[in-house]
Amino acid sequence: MVVRRYTSMAYKNPDDIVFGKAVYPVYERFGVPIGAGFVVPEIKVAPKPGSEKDLETFVKHHKEFTEEILKLCLQLGFNYIMIEQEHVFQQTYNPNYAYETAHAQVELAEKYYNEYGIGVTIRHTIGDIRKAEAEGGLRESDLTKRMFESFEQAAAAGVGDLAIETLGGKEVVDYAVARGDIKGVLFGIGVCGSEDMAWTWPQIVKIANKYGTIPAGDTNCSGANTVMFLAGGLMDREVSHTMAALARAIAGARSLVAVEAGARGPLKDCGYENPIIKAITGVPVCIECTSICACAHIDVMGNLNRAIGDVYSNESVEYHQEFGGSTAEVWTAVTGNAAALSNTALQAKQEKILRDLLTYSDMYRDPQGLILSYPNAYRIGKVITQYGKDPYLRAKYAAIEAGNIILEAAEAKKLKLSRWELETLNKAMETLKALPDDADKFIDDCLKEYANVPYFNPKNYGW
Amino acid sequence: MEGREIGWAMVEGIIAGLKPSVKEEAIDFDKIFVRYNVLEEEKKLGLKPEELVKDIMPKDEPWKTIAYAVFKGDAKTALEETKKALEKFPPKEIVDKGLAPGMHAVSKLYDDGIYYLPQVMLSADAMSAAVQFIEQKVGAGKVEKKGKVVMHVAEGDIHDLGKNLAKVFLVADGWEVIDLGRDVPVDEVVKAVEKHKPVMVTGTALMTTTMTAFPKIAKKLIEKGIKIPFICGGGAVNEDFVNTFELGVIAKKAHQAPKFAEAAKKGISWSDLRAKWHEIAPA
Ligand code: B12
C-alpha cells in the first residue's frame, strides 16, 4: 500500500503548538470546528452492561444517554460537543448495531444543532475485533470483513468522523514488555504496528471518502498504552517508566502512518503520542489525561496533553448514576469546563501561559511526561521526519532521541530518576544503538528471535 | 550543555528562539510532586540482593551454578548446566536442588519489593527452558509438578496480560498450568476443569460486559459437584462482584497466584479463602 511519508515538520517553531489551534483545522458535520481556535470537549460513554442483549435495547440506551449529554450542554452553555462511541465488540461484530446506534445519535445531533445552534459531532471508533490467531489472520478473516463493514455502516449513518485503535504488533509488545525487552517493543510497535496500519488505513480512508465523512485517526493504545499501564504509578514495579517513555516515542513514529494514509484528525484521544504527531503533521488532536479522564484510568500525566490538545476527552466512563447526575452528564461537565478554561485563555490571548502551566505541572513528574512536553515532542518529531521514509529507522531514532532527552534532564537534575529507571534506560539505549540501520536485516533477525511468541504470525504483516 | 535550557530543549538552530511564557526557574518542582519511587529505592540502597537470598541458594555444585543461572535469568547457562546434570542426576533432584531455589530467590526478592517484574520473567524463562529440555528427554509428566491449575480469560475478552503474568508466577513456582487462552467459552472452561481436575481454576476479565461469564462458570461447576476455588482477577472485577457467586475468590495481583494454589492444594475451601485471602495470599 502506498502511503506518503513525512520528511519535514508542519510546525517550524514548537512555540506555535498550542491547544485549540492546528495548522490544518477540521470542520465536522453540524457546526464543529476543530483546531480552528477553540477547544472542543468530548464525552464518551460505555454502554451499560446488559444493554447489548438486543438491538432495540442497545439503540434505546444510546439515544437516552446521547440526549442527556446534549441537554446538559444546553444547561451549562457549552458551544460544542463531540460525542464518541467506542464500539463494544457486539457493535462492530454486528454491522447493523453500528448503523443503528450511529443513526440514532446523528439524528439527535442534527436536531439539537438545528434547534439550538449547538455544534455537535458524532465519532464512531470501530472496534479492532480482528484476532491474530483467527482463520485468515488479521487480513482475511471474517472478523476483518465485519470490521470494515462496520466502518461502512457508521459512515453511511452520517457520523462526523471515524477512528480506530488498530492492534497490529500487540502480541510481540505484550511478550517483550514484561521482559524489559526494548528490541521487541521496537519491532512490535515500530515495525509490525506501522506495517499493519499501512495495510488498514488506506481502506478506512477510502470508505470515509466514499461517504464524505472524515477519516480521523488511530492510536497505539494496544502498544504504548499497554506499556504505560504496566508501568503504572510511581510505586509499581512491573515496567520501568523510562521504558514506557521510549515505547511512547516509538508509538509517535507508528501512529503517524494514519495521517500518512490520509487521516485528517482529530487524532484519537488515547494516543498519548499525539503531541509528536501534531508537531509533525499540523493536524488537530483529541487528548486525554488524568485530570479529565480519571473515570477511565489514572496515569502520571495529570494535565499534560491539555497543553496541545484540540479536543478534550474523558476517555470512557461506564453509564451509571453519580450524585451529580448520570456519568454521561458528570463527565460532560468535566471536559466541557476544562475546555472553557482553555477557550478563555485563547480569547484573552493568554493561551501560551496556560499551555506552559499545564506543561510544567507534569514535565518533571515522570520521564513519560518529559518526552511528551511539547518542545520535547517536537524534538522527537524532528528526528522522525529526518528518517521519515523508513518506518523502522524513524521509530528507532525516535526512541534514542527520547532517551537523550531523559538523560539530559536527569543530568541537569531536573528529572529525578530511580536507579532502576536509569539502569533500564542505559541498557535500552545500548541495545538500540547496536541495532542495524538496515530494516530488512532487523526484520529478518526479529522474525527468528520472536518466532515462538504466542499468537505472532509473520503472515499478518505481509512477510 | 551550557547555555542550553534543558527541557525546553534544544536542537540548535530550530528551537533557538523558543522562550516559554512561564519561567521555569520560578518553579520549585518539589512543591508540586514527589517521586516516591526514588526515595523508596534510596532506603534500600545498602541492600545486596545476593546477600539477602544467600541462605536459600545452594552451596554445592552443580546446583549452585544452575541456581544462579536461573537467578540471573541466564537461560543459556541454565540449559547447558541442566543438560550436563541430567547425565548424572534424576530430573526431580535437578529441579528441587538447582532450578527451583534460583526461582524461589527471585520471587522472594520481588515479593520483598527489591526486584522488578522483568527480572522474574527472565528467570522464569530460564527455568522453563531447562524444565522443557528435561521433559523432552525423560518424557512429559515425569517431572513432578505441585499440581494443576486451569487458567482462562473470559468469553469475549482478549485482555490477557494479567492472566499471562499470573501464569508465569505459577509455572515458576512448579505448577502445571492448563492455559485455555483468551476469549474462552463458559463450557470449555467447565470441560477443562472436569478433565484435568485442577486444585483451582482462574479467570481474568477486564470488561464489565465479559465478567458476567464468571457466575455462569461457577454455577455449572457446582452443578457438577466441583467445589474448587475459582480465582477471579482482571481490571473490571472487584471483590463485591466476586462475592456474589459461590466459589469466587478475588485476586488483585498476579504474584498472589502461587499462594492461592498452595492453599487450594492444602484443602482450604473457597469460602475460607474468600474470607482470609488478606492473610493467605496478600496482594
Ligand atoms: C491494555 C488494554 C487493552 C489491550 C489489551 C492487550 C492485552 N493483550 O491484554 C488492547 C488494546 C488489545 C485492548 C482492547 C480493547 N479494550 Co482495553 N484496555 C487495556 C487497558 C488500557 C489496560 C488493561 C491491562 O492490561 N492492564 C494491566 C494488566 C496486568 O492488568 P489486569 O489484567 O487487571 O491484571 C492484574 C490484576 O487484575 C491481576 N490479575 C488478573 N488476572 C489474574 C489472574 C490470577 C490468577 C491472579 C492471581 C491475578 C490476576 O493481576 C494483574 C496485576 O498484577 C484497560 C484500561 C484499564 N483501566 O484497565 C483497557 C480496558 C480494559 N479496555 C477497554 C475496552 C473497551 C477495550 C476494547 C473493547 C476497545 C475497542 N473498542 O476496541 C478492546 C477489547 C477487545 C476485546 N474483545 O476484548 C475498556 C473496558 C471498558 C468496559 N466496558 O469494561 C478499558 C477499561 C478501557 C477504558 N477505560 O475504556 N485493551
Helix B63-71, helix B75-86: angle, nearest 10: 160
∠ CA A114-A24-A192, nearest 5°, is 110
- 8 A C-beta contact, residue A61 and residue A46: no
CB A299 within 8 A of CB A307: no
Please tell me which residue of chain A has the smallest CA distance to B24.
A360
Of the candidates A324, A318, A323, A322, the residue with the CA atom closest to the CA atom of residue A295: A318
Contacts of B24 in chain A (CB under 8 A): 360
Model pLDDT, residue A199:
97
Among protein residues, the one whose CA lies closest to atom 65 of ligand 1: A88
Q: Say if residue B102 is in the same domain as residue B161.
A: no
Write the ipTM.
Answer: 0.89
All 3 cell numbers of residue A384? Answer: 522522525
Range of the domain at B67: 28-139
Compare all CA atoms of chain A with the CA of B110 and give the residue at the minimum distance: A237
> Are residue B167 and residue B256 in the same domain, yes or no?
yes
- DSSP letter for each residue of B130-148: HHHHHHHHH-TT-S--S-E
- Which of B28, B48, B117 would best serve as a mutation to test chain A binding (most A beta carbons within 10 A)? B117
Assigned domain for B43 exists = yes
For residue A164, the SS3 value is strand
**In the CATH scheme, what is the code of domain A14-454?**
3.20.20
Number of neighbours of residue A348 by Cβ within 10 angstroms:
10
So what's the pLDDT on residue B18?
A: 61
Are A180 and B37 in contact (CB < 8 Å)? no
- A14 touches B: beta carbon within 8 Å: yes
| Unique residue bearing C-alpha cell 528526528 | A383
Residue partners of A451: CB distance under 8 A and separation at least 6:
none
Distance CA A109, CA A66 (A): 9
Closest CA to A258 of A187, A185, A200: A200
Phi, psi of A74 (to 5 degrees): -65, -45
Residue B256 in any domain: the answer is yes
Query: Is the CB of residue A195 less than 8 Å from the CB of residue A249?
Result: no
| Of B121, B139, B157, the domain-final residue | B139
**Average pLDDT of span A75-97:** 96
A157 contacts A99 by C-beta, under 8 angstroms: yes
Q: What is the pLDDT of residue B6?
A: 39
Regarding whether B36 and B127 lie in a shared domain, the answer is yes
CB-based contact B212 A49, cutoff 8 Å = yes
Q: Which of B32, B255, B123, B117 is nearest to A229 (CA)?
A: B117
Quote the CA–CA distance of B234 and A43 in Å, as a whole number: 25
CB contact under 8 A, B160 and A174: yes
Residue that the C-alpha cell 480519571 belongs to: A294
3-state secondary structure of B179: strand
CA dist A232 and A259 (Å) reads 29
Q: Are residues B247 and B129 part of one domain?
A: no
Name residues of chain B where pLDDT drops below 50.
Answer: 1-17
Q: In whole angstroms, give the CA distance from residue A375 to residue A377.
A: 6
Q: Are B158 and B242 within one domain?
A: yes
Start-to-end C-alpha separation, chain A: 14
Shared domain for B124 and B172, answered yes or no, is no
CB contact, 8 Å: A423 with chain B?
Answer: no
Mean pLDDT of A383-395: 97
Asked if residues A424 and A240 have their Cβ atoms less than 8 Å apart, the reply is: yes
- Residue (of A258, A254, A288, A229) closest to A163 by Cα position: A258
Do B41 and B80 fall into the same domain?
yes
Looking at the structure, tell me whether residues B85 and B209 fall in a common domain.
no
The pTM assigned to this predicted structure is: 0.91
DSSP A435-446: S-S-HHHHHHHH
Report helix, strand or coil for A128. Answer: coil
Residues 117-146 of A with CB under 8 A from B: 131
pLDDT recorded at residue B138: 79
pLDDT class for A18, splitting at 50, 70, 90? very high
pLDDT, residue B25, reads: 85
Q: How many domains does chain B have?
A: 2
The torsion region of residue A447 among left (phi > 0), alpha (psi -120 to 50) and beta comes to alpha
A13 residue type, one letter? N
Q: Give the residue from A452, A449, A463, A457 showing the smallest Cα distance to A186.
A: A449
Residue B66 lies in a domain: yes
Same domain membership, residue B159 and residue B222: yes
List chain A domain ranges.
14-454
Condensed to tens digits (0 to 9), the pLDDT of residues A179-208 reads: 999 999 999 999 999 999 999 999 999 999
**3-state DSSP call for residue B81?**
helix
State whether the beta carbon of B235 lies less than 6 angstroms from ligand 1. yes
Torsional sign, CA B208, A171, B128, B144:
positive
- Cβ(A281) – ligand 1 distance below 6 Å: no
State the pLDDT at residue B267.
Answer: 94
pLDDT at B8: 46
Residue B9: inside a domain: no
**Spatial distance between the Cα atoms of B182 and B195, rounded to a whole number of angstroms:** 19
Which amino acid type is present at position B17? Answer: G
CATH number at residue B178: 3.40.50.280
C-alpha span between A89 and A83 (Å, rounded): 19
Q: Which residues pair with A124 in a beta bridge?
A: A85, A162
Amino acid identity of residue A258, one-letter, is A
CA distance A243 to chain B (A): 11
pLDDT in tens, B15-51: 444 667 888 888 999 999 999 999 988 888 778 888 8
How do strand A321-322 and strand A325-326 relate by DSSP bridges?
antiparallel
Residues of B in contact with A237 (CB under 8 A): 110, 113, 115-117
Q: Is pLDDT of A149 > 60?
A: yes
pLDDT in tens, A23-68: 999 999 998 999 999 999 999 999 988 888 899 999 999 999 999 9
DSSP A269: T
Residue A277 and residue A452: Cα distance in Å, rounded? 33
Residue B4 lies in a domain: no
Minimum distance, in Å, between the CA of residue A261 and any CA atom of chain B: 27
The CA distance from A312 to A20, in Å, is 10
Residues from chain B that touch A360, judged by Cβ atoms under 8 A, are: 22, 24, 27, 32
* Cβ count within 10 A of residue B11: 15
Establish if A448 touches chain B: CB-CB under 8 angstroms: no
Q: From B226, B208, B233, B238, select the one nearest B270 (Cα to Cα).
A: B226
pLDDT at A44: 97
Q: How many residues are present in chain B? A: 283
In a domain? residue B46: yes
Mean pLDDT of A357-375: 96
Whether residue A358 is predicted with pLDDT greater than 70 in this model: the reply is yes
Cβ-contact B260, B201 below 8 angstroms: no
Residue A239 sits at the chain B interface (C-beta within 8 Å): yes
Question: Residue B260 CA: which ligand 1 atom is closest?
Answer: 47
- Give the C-alpha separation, A333 to A71, whole Å: 11
B7, part of any domain: no
Q: Which of B12, B30, B31, B35 to mutate to test the interface with A (most CBs of A within 10 A)?
A: B35
A95-A98-A100-A104 Cα dihedral, nearest 10 degrees: -170
Higher pLDDT, A392 or B161: A392
Omega of the bond leading into B62 within 30 degrees of 0 (cis): yes
Last residue in a domain, options B111, B139, B167: B139
